[in-house]
């Protein structure tokens, strides 16, 4: 079943490592909610069906939306779609936005899952990343969310920070797992091009990101989460059994989704499209009842490459049958290219399903790239 995504392009503070689309000026927030509703109305025929199994509010910082903003957004969604009774409805939230009053309002809304941007429980890490919250707030907001009745919680964590030793990282991860959260996403810190962190590292104003440290943290992460009963079901995602994120899993499995808002991506099964990542231009276009987007029809080689890139990142891997459906050339190419990785133990095969081993996960993107089909 299809999913719906809203991109809320505002943040209180710019985290130094971030390359998502957002503005720290909240001035346009009321107009943005109107425009999101307008886009939803204009694109009502995009999805092949009107039933939604997941709604995801991401960003940016969706916890900057007021109870009234949420109420208006969901009223619009209900006007055009039927949200199934068991649907997963997630809101990304930052710890500094979550107090008892806000959480009570969220618990009273259609939101049934919170994704909290903790990133770290260490004061030094949070300062290095320029996060808007501190370590006390990181702990406190989880307690408050649980007290407000949210059992479906996930937290984002970042590993590999130069401000954390291996021992500190291990101890904090153990603390995080002890909280009993059913799901977490863990990402390696990177100084991605054009981020503030990249700029500061180049100027010598911030300690550089160490790839070796990130690799050590990732290996430790795999060991300790497995011992605690979490399934490493996607390269950056860990869940207790049956607690997988439904919205993201559908995305990795190629289910259509509609993305609303500046920079939001959509997929209809055959093509991808992405909205302009510029708040003012997005608002101006919607004021004319136009959605500013670019679109790309996926060729067979692109579908093959995408399938490998996303499939290999999951614990289900890629199925030879599905590759064969794209053409026997693709099947032969895949079988030829994957031999080395099978021999080296980086790729494992069971009944026609190919997935990465623990060592292979460290090289996921490089392996997928080596298996890609090169377009003429």
- The residues of the shown chain that bind ligand SF4, judged by CB under 6 A, are 11, 14-15, 18, 20, 22, 59-61, 94, 117
Q: Which C-beta is closer to ligand SF4: that of 58 or that of 311?
A: 58
Q: Which C-beta is closer to ligand SF4: that of 3 or that of 95?
A: 95
Q: How far is the CB of 364 from ligand SF4 (least distance, A)?
A: 22
Q: How far is the CB of 298 from ligand SF4 (least distance, A)?
A: 27
Please give the full DSSP string across 252-310, using - where no structure is assigned.
Answer: HTT--EEEESTT-EEE-SSEEEEE-S-HHHHHHHHHTT---EEEEEPPHHHHHHHHHHH
Q: Which C-beta is closer to ligand SF4: that of 141 or that of 312?
A: 141
Q: Are 39 and 266 in contact (CB under 8 A)?
A: no
d(CA 177, CA 169): 12
Q: How far is the CB of 247 from ligand SF4 (least distance, A)?
A: 17
How far is the first Cα of the chain from the last one, in angstroms, to the nearest whole number? 35
Q: How far, in Å, are 56, 299, 310 from residue 367 at the CA level?
A: 30, 21, 12
Q: Which C-beta is closer to ligand SF4: that of 24 or that of 136?
A: 24
- Report DSSP state, residue 15: -
49: nearest Cα among 322, 296, 269, 272? 269
Q: How far is the CB of 22 from ligand SF4 (least distance, A)?
A: 5
- CB-CB neighbours of 269 under 10 Å: 11
Phi, psi of 256, deg, nearest 5: -60, 150
Strand partners, 157: 119, 186
Q: How far is the CB of 192 from ligand SF4 (least distance, A)?
A: 11
């Amino acid at each position: 079943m299809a999913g719906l995504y809203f991109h809320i392009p505002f943040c209180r503070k710019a985290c130094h490592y971030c390359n998502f689309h957002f503005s720290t000026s909240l001035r346009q927030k009321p107009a943005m909610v109107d425009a999101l509703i307008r886009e939803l109305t204009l694109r009502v025929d995009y999805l092949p069906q009107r039933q939604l199994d997941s709604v995801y509010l991401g960003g940016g910082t969706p916890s900057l939306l007021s109870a009234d903003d949420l109420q208006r957004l969901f009223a619009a969604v209900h006007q055009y779609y039927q949200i199934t009774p068991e649907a997963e409805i997630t809101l990304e939230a930052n710890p500094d936005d979550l107090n008892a009053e806000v959480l009570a309002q969220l618990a009273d809304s259609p939101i049934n899952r919170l994704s909290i941007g903790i990133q770290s429980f260490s004061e030094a890490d949070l300062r290095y990343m320029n996060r808007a919250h501190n370590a006390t707030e990181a702990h406190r907001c989880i307690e408050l969310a649980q007290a407000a009745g949210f059992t479906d919680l996930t937290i984002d964590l970042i590993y590999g920070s130069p401000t954390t030793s291996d021992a500190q990282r291990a101890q904090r991860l153990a603390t995080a797992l002890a909280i009993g959260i059913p799901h977490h996403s863990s990402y390696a810190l990177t100084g991605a091009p054009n981020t503030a962190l990249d700029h500061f590292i180049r100027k010598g104003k911030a300690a550089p990101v160490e790839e070796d440290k990130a690799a050590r943290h990732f290996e430790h992460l795999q060991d300790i989460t497995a011992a605690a009963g979490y399934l490493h079901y996607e390269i950056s995602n860990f869940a207790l059994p049956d607690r997988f994120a439904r919205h993201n899993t559908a995305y990795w499995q190629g289910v259509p989704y509609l993305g609303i808002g500046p920079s939001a991506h959509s997929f209809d099964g055959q093509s991808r499209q992405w909205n302009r990542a510029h708040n003012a231009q997005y608002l101006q276009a919607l004021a004319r009842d136009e959605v500013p987007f670019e679109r790309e029809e996926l060729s067979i080689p692109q579908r093959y490459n995408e399938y490998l890139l996303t499939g290999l990142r999951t614990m289900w891997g890629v199925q030879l049958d599905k590759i064969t459906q794209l053409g026997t050339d693709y099947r032969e190419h895949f079988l030829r290219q994957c031999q080395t990785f099978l021999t080296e133990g980086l790729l494992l095969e069971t009944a026609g399903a190919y997935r990465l081993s623990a060592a292979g996960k460290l090289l996921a993107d490089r392996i997928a790239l080596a298996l890609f089909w090169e377009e003429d």
